[in-house]
Amino acid sequence: MWILSVNDTRFPHRLAQATITCSGPDGVPLGDQAVTVAQVNHDFMFGNIGFDFLDYATGEDTSEYTAHLADDYLGLFNATTLPFYLGRFEPERERPDTVRLQAAARFFKDHGQVVKGHPLVWHTVTPAWLNGLPLDQAEAALRGRIRRDVADFAGLIDLWDAINEVVIMPVFTVEENAVTKLAYAKSRIEMVRLAFEEARAANPHAYLLINDFDLGSGYECLIEGCLEAGIAIDAIGLQTHMHQGYRGEAHLLDKVEKFARYGLPIHLTESSLVSGELMPKHIVDLNDFQVNEWPSTPAGEERQADEIVRHYTSLVSHPAVKAIVYWGIADRGAWLGAPVGFIRADGTRKPSYDALKSLVKGDWWVSEATGRTDQDGRFGLTGWLGTYDVTVAGQTRRIHLDQPGELRIEVRG
């Protein structure tokens, strides 16, 4: 009766054991019939940024390089983060880049991706027109931006990094900007409230994250204050750019556990691992490290592949973690010029690509399982939480294993 059983003691929270009953249109069980099961998608979000594909989605970029890059991307990841930095999305007031971003969001959604917008509120990459406004007008413009964009993308993008890097926001000194001034005047908690309440009003079905690189006590205090203030945070975002070296399973799981105590899902929103020389440890702000070239190296690529496997395996093992978003598919155009991608600048795959794919679409995937139903039309399946196609008696039906433990699912013709 059991045509497939996935047994991995590290991931009981990722598996469901289902008894599936197959019957015809008349309700009669389809006994002793050949059955095939193939996984379609993971519930767990294995994400990346889709910044390289904005022009590709609209047909403006027809290069062979981008086409191959898109194939590699879609062959591995199931969640995409798109850029909504206000200074780039709306450099000229009232002329947002809505149409192009909608095309990109539609492209990824049509390819089975969960699409996220990043971010609605941030103190960096702000437009000159916003920074020049009096504070009350800047607040009104920021609120309007949130309402407009969340409403315009509802149904295409219902997942948002609502606000980014709030811990440093009111004391940010690198450049003068209206968002920092507003955060200083209103307080961190009220800035979070502004972002979440405006987004929720525009799309009641939106799933909203708070996101930060500061994983210390400042972020803990902020989250506690927001929850005490009644702000409905859906998930906590943790940034883990590791340009200075892999921090190790123990360190990262300690951070996850620290924030998981609030009872909210954890998203690793910005992960990266270098496949070349590491950034010196004395660098505090990663943006301060400037080099003309930062090449990927054979030794670095082997190290990156090993660290990718360790990083993903450890995080998937923690039940609070619901998503890992990697920050770049390719080295070309990567943040800081760092060799963090899964694809080299020449378009060829690094070992890290195959290493991650061997997990996501190998060890953690049901490619195809075959068997027969019993006399009552039943068969058993233990599989990773996600969607599956079940084919029996020439008909294919889609099922969803949506929670760990034992499930009963009926498939009718």
pLDDT in tens, 271-325: 999 999 999 999 999 998 988 899 999 999 999 999 999 999 999 999 999 999 9
CATH of the domain at 277: 3.20.20.80
Whether pLDDT at 9 is above 90: no
DSSP per residue over 163-180, as a string? Answer: EE-TTTGGG--SS--HHH
For helices 298-316 and 249-260, the axis angle rounded to 10 degrees is 30
Range of weakest confidence among 90-104, 220-234, 372-386 = 372-386
Asked if the bond preceding 404 is cis, omega within 30° of 0, the reply is no
pTM score, two decimals?
Answer: 0.96
The answer to whether residues 19 and 88 belong to one domain is no
CATH of the domain at 382: 2.60.40
Whether pLDDT at 183 is above 90: yes
The answer to whether residues 16 and 91 belong to one domain is no
Whether 85 and 122 have beta carbons less than 8 Å apart is answered as yes
Domain contains 42? no
Whether pLDDT at 258 is above 60: yes
173-184 per-residue burial string, b: 16 or more CB within 10 A, e: under 16: eeeebbbbbbbe
Digit-coded pLDDT (tens) for 72-81: 999 999 999 9
pLDDT for residue 10: 82
pLDDT for residue 5: 58
Domain contains 45? no
Q: What is the mean pLDDT of residues 331-348?
A: 96
Encoded tokens for 224: 């506690």
The answer to whether residues 225 and 282 belong to one domain is yes
Whether pLDDT at 250 is above 70: yes
Whether 90 and 145 have beta carbons less than 8 Å apart is answered as yes
Nearest-10 Cα torsion for 93, 99, 104, 106: 130
The answer to whether residues 377 and 352 belong to one domain is no
Domain contains 246? yes
The answer to whether residues 359 and 394 belong to one domain is no
The answer to whether residues 8 and 116 belong to one domain is no
Digit-coded pLDDT (tens) for 216-238: 999 999 999 999 999 999 999 99
Whether pLDDT at 366 is above 80: yes
Whether pLDDT at 205 is above 90: yes
The mean pLDDT of the chain is 95
Bridge partners of residue 379, in order along the sequence = 20
pLDDT for residue 7: 62
The residue among 121, 130, 219, 119 whose CA lies nearest residue 176 is 130
Sheet containing 378-384: order of strands: 2-5, 378-384, 15-23, 405-412
CA 66 – CA 204 distance, rounded (Å): 35
CA 35 – CA 392 distance, rounded (Å): 5
Q: What is the mean pLDDT of residues 171-193?
A: 97
pLDDT for residue 35: 93
pLDDT for residue 406: 85
**Confidence band of 410 (pLDDT split at 50, 70, 90):** confident
Domain contains 261? yes
The answer to whether residues 285 and 408 belong to one domain is no
Q: What is the mean pLDDT of residues 29-57?
A: 96
Domain span holding position 277: 57-363
Angle at alpha carbon of residue 352, lines to 349 and 354, rounded to 5°: 70
- Residue 323: count of CB within 10 angstroms of its CB: 23
**Confidence band of 1 (pLDDT split at 50, 70, 90):** low
- Residue 131, exposed/middle/buried by CB under 10 A (0-12, 13-18, 19+)? middle
The residue among 137, 118, 127, 52 whose CA lies nearest residue 92 is 127
CA 228 – CA 338 distance, rounded (Å): 39
Q: Is 377 left (phi over 0), alpha (psi -120 to 50) or beta?
A: left
**Residue 16, SS3 per DSSP:** strand
The answer to whether residues 298 and 379 belong to one domain is no
Domain contains 266? yes
Domain contains 50? no
CA 44 – CA 319 distance, rounded (Å): 11
Q: What is the mean pLDDT of residues 139-148?
A: 98
The answer to whether residues 75 and 156 belong to one domain is yes
The answer to whether residues 398 and 286 belong to one domain is no
DSSP per residue over 104-149, as a string? Answer: HHHHHHHTT-EEEEE-SB-SSS--HHHHTS-HHHHHHHHHHHHHHH
Q: How many structural domains comprise the chain?
A: 2
The answer to whether residues 401 and 293 belong to one domain is no
**Confidence band of 368 (pLDDT split at 50, 70, 90):** confident
The answer to whether residues 240 and 356 belong to one domain is yes
Percent of the chain with pLDDT over 90: 90
Chain length of the chain: 413
Encoded tokens for 83: 């850029």
Whether 206 and 200 have beta carbons less than 8 Å apart is answered as yes
